[in-house]
């Protein structure tokens, strides 16, 4: 047994001694790929690290965008149950062919590292690519291919990154509003789950989950160490530059268009029921209450039980109220009281829109208006809808 242990220690020592180190001719670059608007998962663009060292025959891509979600990307993303991993590929050419077919822009930004820093990054990535280390929990704002790549680079530099400023006027909500209308269903969902944290102004590195923001600001950054300062990027090279695709966005295919129709329909139904003092559309109302109950429980779940900071303190729960669930189990005066509480809660949204620390989208306000009219029929105005 003792001999076996000594033999294993000998092998480990030999492996460390003969571990490959990069040569002086080696280059480390960020490969930045433009957005792909046919796939929601690629809407931000993509970033990977390319290490090229001809003397050691190394031409390798380190890609933190390896997908391990097994389908149903959007639901796994929203519920915080999404894993990605560090994927490695031999040769840059292999990746470039894929991006050329998809007509995606590709840029290479050579990082200004000395040999010691290059080797530290190389060995860090090689270790991170091992089966037991390569997986990480994906979060679209905090942990994606872009942020993971930057974290790996920052781990290797001897100094620290210095930016002209660390402040921005950008919020998560602003970034999402610029990107998501291309996907109407995703846009609708994001506008529901995005809480008040989305309206807080971000520090500079908080916006680096978007590749274009990261490369723009790293181009102005310096690496500061005891040896002085040096630019973060040594140079850049454009590989592909395709014309920007025409993004088709139609108001008539948006969620807002259909919600507007439902809102005006509700005004007609509410007015008709009020005039005739009859509630012919009770089944339709309870269909809405059932859907809203499901939405409210979903919003509660992503607010309380996921690790996403941006789903916290969601004031949409004032109108998509979890109390809607209780109306299916209550009767008489108790049910009427619940409808009154819900009505007050929704009215608070309309009154508090000027001072609540969250932006309320028009689509959400229209949905709140529909639910308010329906709740009033069974609460404060119940007597006006009964003969």
**Total-model pTM:** 0.86
pLDDT of residue 191: 93
pLDDT for res 9: 46
* Rounded Cα–Cα distance for residues 6 and 9 (Å): 5
Cα 195 to Cα 360: distance, rounded to the nearest angstrom: 10
The pLDDT, as a whole number, for residue 16 is 42
Model pLDDT, residue 13: 42
Residues 333, 335, 341, 344: what is their CA dihedral angle, to the nearest 10 degrees?
-90
Predicted local distance difference test score (pLDDT) of residue 216? 95
51-68 confidence digits (pLDDT tens): 999 999 999 999 999 876
- Structure confidence at residue 278 (pLDDT): 87
The total of other beta-carbon atoms located within 10 Å of residue 277's CB is 11
Residue 19's pLDDT is: 61
What is the structure's pLDDT at 284? 97
- pLDDT at residue number 66: 87
CA angle 357, 262, 193 (to 5 degrees): 30
pLDDT tens across 166-218, in order?
989 999 999 988 877 778 888 899 899 999 999 999 999 999 999 999 999 99
Q: From 212, 16, 262, 218, select the one nearest 113 (Cα to Cα).
A: 218
Give domain limits for the chain: 2-168+203-240, 251-385
Residue ranges in the chain whose pLDDT is less than 70:
1-19, 68-75, 78, 80, 387
Rounded to an integer, what distance in angstroms lies between the CA atom of residue 252 and that of residue 274?
31
56's tokens? 């050691």
Distance CA 139, CA 142 (A): 5
Q: Are strands 83-90 and 58-67 parallel, antiparallel or unpaired?
A: antiparallel
Q: What is the gyration radius of the CA atoms in the chain, in angstroms?
A: 27
pLDDT of residue 14: 40
What is the C-alpha separation between 129 and 117, in angstroms, rounded? 18
Distances (CA, A) of 374 to 148, 207, 293, 347, 352: 47, 41, 14, 13, 20
2-168+203-240 fold: endopeptidase fold (from Nostoc punctiforme) (3.90.1720)
Q: Which of 333, 339, 337, 322 is nearest to 282 (CA)?
A: 339
| Residue 2 per-residue DSSP state | H
**Tokens read off for 141:** 């704002």
CA 269 to chain CA centroid, Å, is 39
**Rounded Cα–Cα distance for residues 29 and 354 (Å):** 47
Residue with tokens 């979890």: 322
């Amino acid at each position: 047994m003792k001999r076996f242990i000594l033999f294993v220690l000998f092998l480990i020592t030999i492996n460390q001694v003969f571990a490959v180190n990069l040569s002086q001719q080696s280059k480390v670059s960020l490969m930045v790929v433009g957005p792909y608007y046919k796939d929601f998962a690629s809407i931000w663009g993509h970033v990977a690290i390319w290490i090229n060292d001809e003397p050691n025959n190394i031409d390798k891509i380190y890609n933190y965008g390896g997908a391990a979600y097994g389908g149903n990307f959007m639901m796994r993303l929203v519920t915080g149950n999404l894993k990605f991993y560090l994927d490695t590929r031999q040769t840059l050419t292999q990746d470039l062919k894929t991006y050329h077919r998809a007509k995606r822009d590709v840029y290479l930004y050579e990082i200004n590292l000395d040999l010691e820093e290059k080797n530290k990054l190389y060995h860090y990535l090689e270790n991170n690519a091992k089966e037991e280390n390569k997986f990480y929990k994906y979060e679209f704002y905090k942990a994606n291919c872009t942020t993971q790549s930057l974290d790996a680079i920052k781990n290797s530099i001897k100094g620290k990154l210095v930016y002209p400023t660390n402040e921005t006027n950008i919020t998560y909500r602003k970034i999402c509003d610029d990107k998501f209308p291309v996907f109407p269903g995703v846009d609708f969902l994001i506008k529901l789950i995005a809480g008040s944290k989305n309206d807080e102004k971000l520090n500079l590195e908080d916006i680096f989950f978007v590749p274009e923001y990261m490369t723009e600001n790293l181009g102005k950054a310096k690496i500061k160490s005891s040896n002085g300062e040096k630019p973060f990027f040594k140079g850049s090279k454009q590989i592909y530059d395709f014309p920007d695709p025409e993004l088709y966005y139609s108001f008539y295919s948006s969620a807002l268009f259909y919600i507007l129709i439902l809102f005006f329909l509700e005004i007609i139904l509410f007015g008709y029921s009020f005039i005739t003092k009859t509630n012919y559309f009770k089944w339709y109302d309870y269909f809405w209450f059932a859907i809203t109950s499901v939405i409210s429980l979903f919003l509660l779940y992503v607010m309380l039980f996921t690790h996403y900071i941006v789903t916290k303190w969601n004031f949409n729960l004032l109108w998509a109220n979890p109390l809607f669930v209780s109306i299916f189990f209550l009767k008489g005066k108790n049910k009427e009281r619940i409808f009154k509480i819900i009505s007050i809660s929704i009215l608070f949204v309309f009154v508090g829109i000027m001072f609540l620390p969250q932006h309320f989208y028009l689509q959400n306000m229209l949905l709140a208006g529909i639910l308010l009219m329906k709740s009033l029929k069974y609460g404060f105005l119940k007597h006006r809808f009964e003969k």
